C-alpha cells in the first residue's frame, strides 16, 4: 500500500527556504528535514508518553543529473527496549545489561515511480510510552546508487517505570483519513502504526510487525477490531491468517475511579475473567467512560497480556478523535521479552 505523498516539484523554491538547518549535502542526491513549529527536524528530549510528533522530509536529485529517486526507507530503533517489563524485587536484583539490545523496525520502505526527481513525505507518529530513546532514520536512494540520510532521536522519561502495571494514553485519528493514520496497535507497549508499516510496500512485502499487532482501528475509525476478524478486508496474501493475533474484549462495570484503582497484575487479569459483558472480537458504539477488559493471544504459544481500555473521548464537538487510556499488566521480567 503506497503511503500518501505530496509531490513537491512545483514547490521546491518555497521549501528550500524552510528546510531544517542541520543539513550536510554533497553529490546530486539531497535529503532535508523541513523545519517548522509543526515538524520535528532535530533531537527532542522530555517527551510525554504517547506524544504525537510529525516530520516532513524532502528528497531531490539534481536536475543536471540523469539519475532519479528510486527508494525511500524509514527505520525506527527503540533503545533499550520498547516493551514494558516488571522489575524484580528487590530492585537491587535488576541487571540493566540483561535487557535486550535496541529493537529496529522498518516504518516505511517504498519504491518510487520511475523518473521521480523530487519527493515530499509527511508522517505523523506517536512516540514510545515506555522510558527510553527512539532513533528515526530516513534514507533516500537514487537510480545511480547514491544515498542520503538524516536522523533524529526523541526520548521519553517516566518516574513510575517500577510499577507492576503499565499505563498510557492512546490517541487515534477519527475518521481514519488515508494510510498515514496510526491504526494498527500493539497494546502492551502502546505503539500504533500506519497501514503501510504493517501491510507493507514494495520491496518490504512482509513486515515483521504483522505478528505483533493486537488491535486494528477500522477504516472509518469508529471500531476496534481483533486482527483475526479482518477476513477478506485485508488480503491473506498481504497478511496471512497465521500471522494475525486473536485479541478478545469484555465490557466491565468499572467506573473511571475504579479504573484508576486497578494497580495490581492479578486484579487487572481478574477484570477480564469477571466482566459482565460477553467475549467480543471487536468493540463499537464506544461511549465516554466505558471500560473494557482485554486479553491478547500472542502467536507461537507465548504468554497472553491482560489489560483495560477506558474510553476518554469519542469524535464530536471539540474532540478530534478517539482517545483511550490503557492499563496493562506487566509480565515477569523473564517473560517480558517473549513478544
Q: How confident is the model at residue 333 (pLDDT cuts 50, 70, 90)?
A: very low
Choose between 132 and 302: higher pLDDT: 132
Q: Which CATH number fits domain 1-162: 1.20.210.10, 2.60.40.3880, 3.40.50.10330, 2.60.40.10?
A: 2.60.40.3880
Mean pLDDT of the chain: 85
What is the model's pLDDT at position 226? 97
Backbone angles phi, psi at 12, to 5 degrees: -60, -50
Instruction: Count helices and strands (H / E) in the chain.
Output: 4, 18
What are the strands, taking DSSP E only, across 16-144?
29-33, 44-47, 52-61, 69-79, 103-111, 118-126, 132-142
281 touches 225 (CB < 8 A): yes
d(CA 81, CA 59): 31
The domains of the chain are located at 1-162
Mean pLDDT, range 92-104, rounded to an integer: 84
Mean pLDDT, range 72-92, rounded to an integer: 90
d(CA 164, CA 246): 24
In the predicted structure, residue 181 carries a pLDDT above the cut 70: no
What is the model's pLDDT at position 26? 53
103 touches 81 (CB < 8 A): yes
Give the list of residues 6+ apart from residue 214 with CB closer than 8 angstroms, or none.
185, 186, 187, 188, 226, 227, 245, 247, 294, 296, 305
- Going by DSSP bridges, is the β-strand pair 147-156/44-47 parallel, antiparallel, or unpaired? parallel
d(CA 100, CA 80): 7
In total, the chain counts a number of residues equal to 339
SS3 letters across 291-313: EEEEEEECCCCCCCEEEEEEEEE
What is the model's pLDDT at position 8? 32
Give residue-wise pLDDT tens across range 182-202. 689 999 999 999 989 999 887
Q: Which three cell numbers stand for residue 180?
A: 498515514
Read off the pTM: 0.86
Element (H, E) at 154: strand 147-156
In the predicted structure, residue 18 carries a pLDDT above the cut 50: no
Give residue-wise pLDDT tens across range 209-223. 999 999 999 887 788
Mean pLDDT, range 263-274, rounded to an integer: 91
Backbone angles phi, psi at 60, to 5 degrees: -150, 150
In the predicted structure, residue 75 carries a pLDDT above the cut 60: yes
Amino acid at each position: 500500500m503506497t503511503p500518501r505523498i505530496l509531490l513537491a516539484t512545483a514547490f521546491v523554491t518555497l521549501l528550500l527556504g524552510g528546510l531544517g538547518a542541520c543539513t550536510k549535502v554533497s553529490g546530486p542526491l539531497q535529503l532535508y528535514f523541513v523545519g517548522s513549529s509543526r515538524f520535528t527536524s532535530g533531537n527532542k528530549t522530555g517527551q510525554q508518553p504517547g506524544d504525537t510528533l510529525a516530520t516532513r522530509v524532502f528528497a531531490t536529485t539534481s536536475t543536471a543529473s540523469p539519475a532519479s529517486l528510486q527508494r525511500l526507507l524509514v527505520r525506527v530503533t527503540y533503545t533499550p527496549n520498547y516493551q514494558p517489563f516488571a522489575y524484580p524485587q528487590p530492585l537491587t536484583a535488576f541487571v540493566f545489561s540483561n535487557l535486550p539490545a535496541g529493537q529496529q523496525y522498518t516504518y516505511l520502505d517504498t519504491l518510487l515511480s520511475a523518473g521521480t526527481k523530487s519527493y515530499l513525505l509527511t508522517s505523523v507518529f506517536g512516540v514510545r510510552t515506555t522510558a527510553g530513546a527512539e532513533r528515526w532514520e530516513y534514507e533516500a536512494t537514487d537510480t545511480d546508487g547514491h544515498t542520503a540520510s538524516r536522523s533524529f532521536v526523541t526520548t521519553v522519561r517516566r518516574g513510575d517505570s517500577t510499577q507492576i502495571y503499565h499505563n498510557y494514553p492512546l490517541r487515534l485519528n477519527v475518521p481514519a483519513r488515508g494510510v498515514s493514520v496510526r491504526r494498527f496497535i500493539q497494546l502492551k507497549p502502546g505503539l500504533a502504526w500506519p497501514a503501510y508499516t504493517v501491510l507493507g510496500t514494495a520491496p518490504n512485502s512482509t513486515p515483521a510487525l504483522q505478528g505483533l499487532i493486537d488491535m486494528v482501528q477500522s477504516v472509518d475509525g469508529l471500531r476496534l477490531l481483533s486482527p483475526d476478524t479482518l477476513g477478506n478486508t485485508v488480503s491473506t496474501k498481504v497478511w496471512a491468517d497465521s500471522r494475525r493475533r486473536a485479541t478478545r474484549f469484555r465490557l466491565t462495570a468499572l467506573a473511571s475511579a475504579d479504573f484508576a484503582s486497578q494497580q495490581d497484575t492479578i486484579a487487572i487479569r481478574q477484570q477480564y475473567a469477571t466482566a459482565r459483558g460477553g467475549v467480543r472480537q471487536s468493540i463499537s458504539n464506544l461511549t465516554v467512560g466505558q471500560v473494557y477488559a482485554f486479553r491478547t493471544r500472542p502467536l507461537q504459544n507465548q504468554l497472553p497480556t491482560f489489560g483495560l481500555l477506558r474510553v476518554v473521548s469519542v469524535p464530536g464537538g471539540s474532540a478530534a478523535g478517539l482517545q483511550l487510556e490503557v492499563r496493562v499488566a506487566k509480565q515477569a521480567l523473564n517473560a517480558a521479552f517473549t513478544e
